[in-house]
Amino acid sequence: MANYRIRRGDTLSALATRFKTTVSALARANKIANPNLIIAGKTLRVPGAGGDSFEGPKGTGGSKGTGGSKGTGGSKGTGGTKGTGGAAAPGNATPAMRKLAEAGRKAALGMGGYNSQGLCATGVSRAIQNAFGFKVWGNGNQIDNNLPRDKFKQVNMSLAEALKIPGLVLTWEKTPSRLGSIYGHTAITTGDGKSSVSDFIERNTLGASGRSGLKIFMPTM
């Protein structure tokens, strides 16, 4: 069993070919729930290989300041999360994630456009139903508990990183407004690095102040 430090641009299928194994064998050895999602900087166990370690060259996914360092793809608070079996990155969003982002945008344009209607949970629930065929109930700070865990998983990354990835569900426990202090807020990322959608399109989610209790969920379908 050998170890390989995942580099940016790697895919599990390409690595399986490289190491003369299969995608399923790699996924099983590394407990990867979604073979389409691997994280730069993470260590991949390669079954059937010798005892050598295969490291990416400096300046790529295995070096400081890139995929394996703090503040990037493989560390706490960003693209990777401990104990989740892999998280998303901007370049490898799944079709389900892109479908949810598009459904979210359509729901927002059909409700408030660029103006909030105070119905963020309705917009997110409508997007999920249109994308996947089931409805999720609850207000902004309840949706996180009602997302089916066989279809969504919580991931640990910063808001700035999440906004670069389409189709993630964001929930906040509280916001500064009167209703937000009671019901929280929820939205879906568009992947452009700044905006999110719910019952309206929020142009600068990163610039919204006073929100607390952020949780981020990724579709796993």
Instruction: Categorise residue 217: left if φ over 0, alpha if ψ from -120 to 50, beta otherwise.
Output: beta
pLDDT in tens, 147-205: 999 999 999 999 999 999 999 999 999 999 888 889 999 999 999 999 999 999 999 99
Distance CA 51, CA 55 (A): 13
Taking only Cα atoms into account, the Rg of the chain, rounded to an integer number of angstroms, comes to 18
Unique residue bearing structure tokens 């050895």? 29
pLDDT in tens, 90-111: 667 899 999 999 999 999 999 9
Question: Which domains occur in the chain, in start order?
Answer: 1-79 (3.10.350.10), 91-219 (3.90.1720.10)
Global pTM reads 0.62
pLDDT in tens, 28-66: 888 888 877 888 788 888 876 544 444 443 433 333 333
